[in-house]
Amino acid sequence: MCIFAFIPMYAQLNVTSVQDKVEKIGTLRSTYAYLYSQGTSYYLSIRSSNQFDDNCLFCLGDTAESAILTAQDLIGLCDVLEENASVSATDANGEEALFIKKKMIGKPYLVISMTGQAGTSNITKAELEKAVRIIKEHGKISD
């Protein structure tokens, strides 16, 4: 007679930190562009043109005030850059992004290419303005 004893084996889990939960605070474009908050940080999540790639995740800022300033700077790029002109910048997390101004039916938008992404993403000036309004409401900031 043979008796088998099974003893479960578990890996040891060492928790190093616990992060705040990620909260979707707004939809900028249905199924395409969203605004997220984690603690006091604000992120744009925009779908990539490459279906096999992750979304473009751009950190606007570590506080509501800095996120609003970054979004307003991006709105400014839509206003001052000539069509097909580009600007390289880093987000609040230090990730590098390339912004290229384009126009479609006369409306300005920015094509975003992030380091490590195969595809590109785009966001319109109107969506950035909507993001500013949502951040102000969420952060309880008055004009």
Residue position matching structure tokens 């909260």: 23
> Per the domain annotation, does 7 fall within a domain?
no
**What pLDDT, on a 0 to 100 scale, did the predictor assign at position 1?**
54
Q: How many helices (H) and strands (E) does the chain have?
A: 2, 8
Rounded mean pLDDT, 104-111: 92
In a domain, 88, yes or no: yes
Residue 18: C-alpha distances to residues 10, 14, 35, 41, 121 (Å): 21, 11, 22, 15, 30
Categorize the per-residue pLDDT at 116 as very low, low, confident or very high, splitting at 50, 70 and 90: confident
Stretch 106-129: mean pLDDT, rounded?
92
Say if 68 falls within a structural domain. Answer: yes
Give 2's DSSP letter. -
On whether residue 58 sits in a domain, the answer given is yes
| Domain enclosing residue 119, as ranges | 23-138
**What's the mean pLDDT when you consider all of the chain?**
88
Give domain status of residue 9, yes or no.
Answer: no
Confidence of residue 20 (pLDDT cuts 50, 70, 90): confident
| Residue 111 near residue 123 (C-beta atoms within 8 A) | no
Please name the helix (run of DSSP H) or strand (run of DSSP E) that holds residue 133, with its range, or none: helix 125-138
Comparing CA positions, the residue from 98, 102, 91 lying closest to residue 124 is 102
Asked whether residue 17 is domain-assigned, the answer is no
H or E element, residue 69: helix 64-80
Q: Are 109 and 103 in contact (CB under 8 A)?
A: yes
Task: Provide the domain count of the chain.
Answer: 1
Is 110 a domain residue? yes
Residue 97: pLDDT over 60: yes
Checking if the pLDDT of 11 tops 70, the result is no
CB–CB of 135/35 below 8 Å? yes
Q: How confident is the model at residue 8 (pLDDT cuts 50, 70, 90)?
A: low
Judge whether 66 lies within some domain: yes
Dihedral of CA atoms 139, 131, 37, 118 in degrees, nearest 10, equals -160
